[in-house]
Structure 1
Amino acid sequence: MSPAQGIRNYMDIWDKRDDMVVHGTDPYNAEPSPCVLADRTLTPLDAFYSRNHGPIPDLDPASWRLTVDGLVGHPLTLSLEDLRSDFSEHALVATLQCAGNRRADLIKVRDIPGEDPWGPGAISTAHWNGVKLADVLARAELCPEAAHIAFAAPDVSDIADPPQPYGGSIPVAKAITGQVLLAWGMNGRPLPRAHGAPVRAIVPGWIGARSVKWLQRVTAQAEPSDNYFQATAYRMLPSEADPARTGPCAGISLGPVTLNTAILRPDDGARLRPGLTQIAGYAYAGENRAVARVDVSLDEGGTWIQADLDEQVSPWAWQHWRTTADLGEGETVITARAWDTAGATQPESARHLWNPKGYANTSWARIHVTCHS
């Protein structure tokens, strides 16, 4: 079987578009082309990015159970039917963004061996249905000394040494806000297997790595999870660090996402006719902030055009933006930057953000286009 046939089979298995940009098939990692995300508040299921660290589990919803234990007064074992019948259903629109979104621009600065070259499509937005984690924790009666809520899943990853199931944690302060969901529905349909069925965590405003899929255990504890993907991976290391030589708890643990934007249309490298051209993209501010403004430049930041910004449909969702610019003959570098409601904006260059794992590229977005009559 050819590589193309192998990728085609994976598109069929996970019900993804034929034009997904596939970074790996085992584990399956893929993102949509930028233009697919343009002008869509909700990302279609067949275009929603997929980030995995091991084989995708196949869990039977009827026999699935969620264990809630640790520093709680009343440990729980809940079936999917228990979650549906014993707790009030809740819904929210939330954007999930991989910590490696836009890593490809960091790789242009300096190579990042062993890491997928994610473009601007490692981000997607869905309408999620489920129950509030806070309601489940209230039923279990958190002990006063509980400071973190750990999530555990069955997907075993060879990235860890030795291999271990995926896991992570969030602070209790985030878990009990009522914002975090134990979700079984996505865009009006049952949660797809590739996205965590039968139940996954949705931690809005935080990196996608904390929205653990195929959730099987929720544990209240005094310290953060010691799982590899919390203690060692998804940490911002200094630029001079060697990831192979750094141990657990090195660097900064990634949690809330930071302000970001990307240009979705036109395509990078596009050949266009001179004249009025629509430029469109997304901006996302993450935890407890909103996007206030998006600026677009045709001269590398010498002058700026203020783009039209869509209303935010949810405190946890991205916003799309667009503007029209008059492009002349020849090559143009189109640049975009966002501002959030705290008055913060993005750093100018990916050079200033390079790190050895390629996380959190929030530099100005840039594409190159060429116009000829």
Structure 2
Amino acid sequence: MTSRLSLHRRHLLAGSASALAAAGLGTWSSHAAAQAKPLPSYAAWKDANSVIVHSSSTIETRRSAFGTSVITPADQLYVRNNLPAPPASVLDNRDAWQVSIEGVRNPRTLTLGELKTMGLETVATVLQCSGNGRGFFPHKPSGTPWTVGAAGCVVWSGVPVRSVVEALGGVAGDTLVYMTGTGGEVLPEGVPVDSVLVERSVPLKAMGDALLAWEMNGAPLSLAHGGPVRLVVPGYNGVNNIKYVKRLAFTPTESTAKIMQHGYRMSPLGGKADPTQASVLEMNVKSWINSPHPESGTLKAGQMQIHGVAFSGTTPVTKVEVSVDGGKTWHAAHFVGPDLGRFAWRQFALHVKIPAGNYVMVSRATDAAGNVQPEHRLENQSGYSNNSWADHGVKVTVA
């Protein structure tokens, strides 16, 4: 049943500079208004009107492009590559792509064609860059200033990693406590391999849900999103979902690659990353409003649907609340559309009748483990894992 809320003038935040600052809204419009850049050739099929091209390796979904359906269309989904994509010729014979499986009792190199005979599973997951929300950090971390658009919810099809491991005799020993995926990008010459190799390790428990996926949203996996085959680790940040995966190993220690040891670490402000700091692994509870959005312009007073998305890593979201006064008062939203499982996001909506004025609209999610989306971001040098509800708010003018 749709919630309905009648708003009165006491809820208005007209001209409230402090409320806008608290909501972290000052940086969004400057990023969205960045001059348009052409789509790179490997992603030329993307919908140029729905994305912001930051660089040849970073493409963000516009907040205004997120609709009310659960699944993000492939031509609107963000792109983040740590290295240039392999040549498109790797897709000419997809089934010939090889993945080395190591750290099992019967290690083998399997072609994608062979993997397709070993099992099949389909799962919907949120795919989110670790730096999504970086653009809201006041210290302006280096890296792409993502706002909300380095995320999407997609459907993967592939073979469960657990099925492959079982077929090869199981993990070869109790000391192998990490699952390590290695990407198949072409590495630049003249530099140490570990300094550029895309290789990430996640706890062994992630194997139970992981896929070697060759299909996304019902179509063969594109080069832009990791085709011919990608390691999908549901509930984990995007960097752990290895594109063009060529090696899957069960290891006693984390990868020695720089991207694992020093990259994607929760370093303190002004500090340098090191292996003792927390790694960016499972996603945290998060939500944001997609409509109204900062590109809406002045809205007409009266009936309105506020809607957005909410998710929480490996734990399902159970509740979303919406505030139109910058977090002073909260109202329960309702979920919209199908529940595609604990790794997918949920669309939420709140029906309001709203008079003229200026508003700061924010959302706050709670998951099944009792984790509540926080008001404030966790400050860190690289701008990772921002799930602050204040930062992700939207400023709306109603006339």
Same fold (TM over 0.5): yes
Q: Specify the code of the residue in structure 2 equivalent to 1:312.
A: D
Q: Distance in 2 between matches of 1:276 and 1:50?
A: 36
Deviation at 1:13, TM superposition (A): 4.0
Residue number in structure 2 paired with 1:76? 108
Residue number in structure 2 paired with 1:340? 367
* Conserved 8 A contact 2:235-2:282: yes
Deviations 1:57-79 (A, max 9, x none): 1224254211112x322111111
Deviation at 1:261, TM superposition (A): 0.4
> Is residue 101 of structure 1 aligned with residue 138 of structure 2?
no
Q: 1:361 to 1:13 in 2, by over 3 A?
A: closer
Q: Distance in 2 between matches of 1:207 and 1:13?
A: 21
Q: 1:9 to 1:332 in 2, by over 3 A?
A: closer
Matches within 5 A, 1:182-261: 182-241=212-271, 243=272, 246=273, 248-261=274-287
Q: 1:290 to 1:101 in 2, by over 3 A?
A: same
Residue number in structure 2 paired with 1:22? 53
> Is residue 368 of structure 1 aligned with residue 395 of structure 2?
yes
> Is residue 275 of structure 1 aligned with residue 275 of structure 2?
no
Matches within 5 A, 1:132-211: 132-141=160-169, 142-144=171-173, 145-155=175-185, 163-175=195-207, 177=208, 179-211=209-241
**2:340 match: secondary structure:** coil
The structure with higher relative contact order (CA 8 Å, sep 6+) is 2
Q: Distance in 2 between matches of 1:318 and 1:123?
A: 10
Deviations 1:252-293 (A, max 9, x none): 112111100011111125321222222110000111x21111
* Conserved 8 A contact 1:338-1:346: yes
**2:116 match: secondary structure:** helix
Q: 1:12 to 1:54 in 2, by over 3 A?
A: closer
* Conserved 8 A contact 1:11-1:18: no
Structure 2's unaligned 5+ residue stretches are: 1-33
Q: 1:8 to 1:23 in 2, by over 3 A?
A: closer
- Compute the TM-score of the two structures, normalised by the length of structure 1: 0.88
- Compute the TM-score of the two structures, normalised by the length of structure 2: 0.83
Residue number in structure 2 paired with 1:124? 152
| Structure with greater strand share of residues | 1
After the TM superposition, which segments of 4 or more aligned residues of structure 1 sit over 3 Å from their partners? 11-14
Deviation at 1:341, TM superposition (A): 1.6
Residue number in structure 2 paired with 1:330? 357
Residue number in structure 1 paired with 2:31? none
Q: Distance in 2 between matches of 1:137 and 1:263?
A: 40
Q: 1:343 to 1:227 in 2, by over 3 A?
A: same
Q: 1:318 to 1:18 in 2, by over 3 A?
A: same
* Conserved 8 A contact 2:362-2:393: yes
Q: 1:51 to 1:329 in 2, by over 3 A?
A: same
**1:204 match: secondary structure:** coil
* Conserved 8 A contact 2:43-2:224: no
* Conserved 8 A contact 2:42-2:224: no
Deviation at 1:334, TM superposition (A): 0.8
**1:257 match: secondary structure:** coil
Residue number in structure 2 paired with 1:314? 341
Identity, % of aligned positions = 29
Deviation at 1:197, TM superposition (A): 0.8
Q: Specify the code of the residue in structure 2 equivalent to 1:236.
A: M
* Conserved 8 A contact 2:317-2:346: yes
Q: Distance in 2 between matches of 1:157 and 1:360?
A: 28
Q: Distance in 2 between matches of 1:349 and 1:136?
A: 42
Deviation at 1:135, TM superposition (A): 1.3
